[in-house]
A and B are shown apart, each in its own frame.
Chain A
Amino acid sequence: MASIKMKSVDAVVIGGGWAGSILAKELTEAGQSVVMLERGPDRSTASEGAYPGSIDELEGNFRHKIFQNLSKTSVTIRNTPDQTALPYRQMAAFLPGEGVGGAGLHWSGVHFRMPPDDLIMRTKVKEKYGEKFIPEGMNLQDYGVTYDDLEPFFDKAEKVFGTSGEAYTVNGQVVGKGNFFAPSRSDNFPLPALKDVYGANMFRKAAEEVGFHPYAMPAANASAQYTNPYGVQMGPCNFCGYCSGYACYMYSKASPNVNILPALRNDPKFELRAEAHVLRVELDSTKTKATGVTYLDRKGNEVFQPADLVIVSAFQFHNVHLMLLSGIGKPYDPVANEGVVGRNFVYQNVTTTTAWFDKSVYTNQFIGTGGGGVAFDDFNSENFDHGPLGFIGGSPVWVNQAGIKGIAAAKIGGPPGTPHWGSAWKKAMVDTYQHSVRMDAHGTNMAYRDVYLDLDPTWKDAYGMPMLRMTFDWKDNDIRMNRYVVSQIAKVTKAMGARDVHLGQRQPGEHFDTRFYQTTHLAGGAVMGDDPKTSALNRYLQSWDVSNVFVIGANAFPQGTGYNPTGMVAALAYWSAHHIRTTYLKNPGPLVQL
C-alpha cells in the first residue's frame, strides 16, 4: 500500500450515478477539469446490458449482480434510539447501486417533478391548517426553493433523460390529458406517453369512473427513438419486463451510462476513475475549506486527489456517511435537538394492493416497463383537504407494472392466506399469476426528531470506517395517511370488476421491517433549506460550513416524497450546477450570506 498524491484538478466528483454525471457534465462545459471517482466497476450497456445474457432474473433481482456489494460496506438499522442497531446483512428493504451509472443503471425510470406545495410544505400546512396541526416531534420543513425556481431544471432533466409523458398544462394552457394536479410546464414532454399495459388501462378507466384523475406516469423509458441535447440516442422501449434491476439492452431506459457519459468520456477535461473508493473529504485546519479527497484505488493504494471544488454525489445515505466521516457540518444530536448532519432522515411509505380477475382475463404481468403506468394524484400533496383527516402527507396511487417474472411470481404465490409451498401454493399461483393487477399507494414519509442517521459505535466496513447507523420507524401520522389513501383504492378495484382484492395497508403500530423490499427512495439526512440550524445545505446544495463542498442527492429532501425521487435529484443537480457555473466559479465562497 502506497500513499500517492495526484495532480490537482478543478473539481472532484464522488460517485458516478445521476447526480455525479450531471455535475461532471456541467462543470466540464464550464471549462473545469473534472475527476470522477466511482467505487464500483466501470459499466455500460455493451457489457451489463448484453442481450440475452443480461435478462437473467436470478442474477438481476436475486443475486443483485449490478447492485452494491454489501460484503464491503453496509449500514446498521434499528427502529428506536433505545435499541441496538444491527447490520443490514442481506439486500432486501432497499437496493443501492454501485459501479458507473450508480443505481441509475438499474433503476426503473419513473420520472417525476416535485409537487409545488411539497417544496413549501411547512408554510403550506401552517397556512391551511395552522401550526398546531403539525404533530409534536415532526420536523416539517420547506426546501428553500420553489417550483418556479426549479422549473427550467425539471425541463432540462426531462430533455436529457428523453422522458415520455403527457402534459396537462404548458405555459398555463391545457394541452392534454396529463395529470390534472401537476403544475404548469414550460414545454411538453420530449416524447409522448408510453402505451398503457392492460392492468394500467383497467385502472385508468375505473379511476375515471369513480371521479379520480388518472394520467400516464412520466417515464424515462423512451416511447420512440430519441436524440437528447448531448447528442446521444435512445431506442423505443419494447416493454421487455426486465427493467428494474437490469441495464436496458434496448438503450431505452435513461441512465447516466446511456444519456450523459458517452458525451463526457471523450472530453479531455474529464477523467473517470472506477474502483476508486473515497474514504473522506479532506479539510484544511480551519475546517471550512476542503482540500480534496482521499480514496483507495483498485490496488489498495491510498490516493490523495487535491481539488478546488468537491462534489459529494455518492447517493443519499452515502453522502451523509461521507459528511460524518469527513467532519463536514455539525452531526445531529437528537437528545439536544441540535446539529444537522443526519437530521430529517426519511424514506417512502409504500404498500401494495392486489386485485384478482377471472381466469379468462389475461393481465400478462410479465409485460412491463419500469417507469410507465397509470396513476392518480387525488390523494397526494395538498390536492385534498387534510383538515378533517388529521394527518400530513399523501400518496399517489398507481399501476406501475415493471414486469413480474418467474421467481417473483413463485415468491408472491397466491392471495394472502394460501400456503407458500406444496400443491395448494402451486395451484393458487397458476390461478392468479396471469390474472392479477398490482397497484401501489406510494406515500410520503414525514421527518421526526427521533428518526436520524449517525455513525454506528460497533460495526465497521471493510475499510475500517464506522458504518452508518439508521434509526427509523413508521409513525402514527404516516400509518394513518397510508390507511386512508388505501381505503380509497377500494373504490377503484370495485369499478375494475375484480373477483377478489387484497388492500395492502400498514397496520397501526407496525415497525419498519428490513427484510422486505420497500423502495430505494431513501432521503434526507443532509437537507437543504434557509436556516443552518435545521439544514446542512443552503438552497444551492452547498454545505453551510465548507463552502467548496456541494452535496447532491435525495439527502437534500426535508421530507420523504410520494413520488420517485430521481426527477427531483436531477433537477436539483442542474439547479446547483447552474449556480456554481454562473456565480460560484466567478467568486468561490458561500452562495448564501447569513
Chain B
Amino acid sequence: MQGLAGAAALTSTTLPVHAARSAGESAYSPTFFTPAEWAFLHAACDRLIPQDAVGPGAIALGVPEFIDRQMATPYAFGKLWYMQAPFVQGPANLGYQLPYAPRDIYRKGIAGAATFVQAKYGKAFGDLDAATRDEILSGFEKGDTLFGDLPAKIFFAQLLGNTMEGAFSDPSHGGNKGLGGWTTIGFPGARADFMDWVDQYGKQYPLGTVAISGETA
C-alpha cells in the first residue's frame, strides 16, 4: 500500500482529471484506446471508483491499463459471445442483442459520450468537475440516451463492469495495483487455504492479501 499513500492524499473530487492522471498514470501506453479515448476513460473510471478516505481509486489501481489490456483478449472481440445474425432487439430481460463486441462498445460509446458532453457542456468530459461528471455518468446509467444505435446504458454497464473487474481482479491482469482493491475490502486474494480459520467464528482473518504472483500486501 505504500505506493498509494501519495495518491491517497489527493481527492479527485476537487482535482481536474489530468492532474489525477499524472499522479496515477504509470508508464503504460495504451494499444487500443486513442489519446482522446484514453483521457475519457481516465476521467470516467476516476468517478466510478474515486480516490477517497476509504481506499484507492480506479486510476491508482490501474483500471484503465486493465481495460486496455483486456481489449486484446478474445473476450473483447466478442469471441466468448454468441454473435450470429440476425440481431433483433427485444425486451431487456431477454439480454444483450446488439452486434457489438466490447471493443465496438467502447469505440462507439466513448465517441457518443464525447459528442453528447461537448454539445451539452461545450467541453471535453475530462475537463468537467467531478460533480458534473457524476451527473453525466448517472444519466448514462439510468436514462434513455442513445449513441446512434448503442444505448448509453449498455456502454455504461460495460464500463462499470470492466472497472470493477480491473480494480478487484488479480494484478496479473493489469489492475488492482499494489493489491489496493483487495486490501480495501479485506479480501485475501489467492490465499485459498482457510483450513485453520473456518471455525474461528466472528474473528477477522489475520493474514494479508496475496496475488497469484506471490506479491503480498
Residues of A within 8 A of B (CB): 51-53, 55-58, 62-64, 69-71, 73-74, 77-79, 83-92, 195-198, 201, 236, 238-242, 249, 360-364, 366-367, 405-407, 409-411, 420-423, 426-427, 429-430, 433-434, 458-460, 462, 511-515
Contact = CB atoms under 8 A, between A and B. Distances in A.
B119 interface: no
Contacts of B170: 56-58
A434 B204 contact: yes
A109 to B, nearest CB: 16
A295 to B, nearest CB: 21
B194 A86 contact: no
Among A87, A196, A197, A458, chain B packs the most CB atoms within 10 A around the CB of A87
Contacts of B189: 406
A405 B192 CA distance: 10
Nearest to A62: B165
B155 interface: no
Nearest to A428: B54
Contacts of A458: 86
Interface string B179-217: 001101111111011110111011111000000100000
Contacts of B161: 411
Contacts of A511: 91, 93
A459 B87 CA distance: 10
15 contacts: A51-B192, A56-B212, A57-B168, A58-B173, A73-B82, A83-B90, A86-B95, A87-B97, A89-B96, A195-B199, A239-B193, A406-B176, A407-B168, A422-B47, A426-B50
Contacts, number: 188
Given A55-B190, A57-B169, A90-B81, A406 B94 contact: no
B81 A89 contact: yes
Interface of B: 47-50, 52, 54-55, 73, 75, 78-84, 86, 88, 90-97, 134, 137, 141, 160-161, 163-165, 167-170, 172-173, 176, 181-182, 184-190, 192-195, 197-199, 201-205, 212
B187 to A, nearest CB: 5
Contact of A362 (B48, B134, B169, B203): B203
A363 to B, nearest CB: 8
B90 A409 contact: no
A492 B23 CA distance: 49
Contact of A71 (B55, B80, B192): B80
B169 A58 contact: yes
Given A84-B88, A409-B187, A238 B204 contact: no
Nearest to B201: A198
Contact of B160 (A70, A77, A84, A420): A420
B204 A362 contact: yes
Contact of A459 (B81, B84, B192, B212): B84
B54 A427 contact: yes
A113 B63 CA distance: 45
A434 B203 CA distance: 10
A430 B95 contact: no
B55 A426 contact: yes
B95 A407 contact: no
A421 B49 contact: yes
B77 to A, nearest CB: 10
A92 B94 CA distance: 11
Given A63-B73, A367-B197, 17 more contacts: A69-B80, A74-B82, A79-B91, A85-B94, A87-B82, A88-B82, A91-B80, A197-B198, A238-B194, A406-B176, A407-B169, A409-B168, A410-B167, A421-B47, A421-B48, A423-B52, A511-B93
B188 A63 contact: no
Contacts of B54: 423, 426-427, 430
Contact of B94 (A86, A409, A429): A86
A201 B189 CA distance: 24
Among A64, A73, A90, A364, chain B packs the most CB atoms within 10 A around the CB of A364
Nearest to B137: A421
B169 A430 contact: no
A363 B55 CA distance: 21
Contact of B201 (A73, A78, A201, A462): A201
Contacts of B163: 421
A410 B97 contact: no
B50 A514 contact: no
Contacts of A86: 88, 90, 94-95, 97
Top 9 closest pairs, chain A to chain B, by CB: A406-B168, A58-B169, A240-B192, A74-B82, A513-B93, A410-B164, A367-B194, A239-B194, A421-B48
A306 to B, nearest CB: 32
Contacts of B186: 433-434
A388 to B, nearest CB: 33
Given A56-B170, A426-B54, A514-B95, A242 B81 contact: no
A88 B95 contact: yes
B97 A89 contact: yes
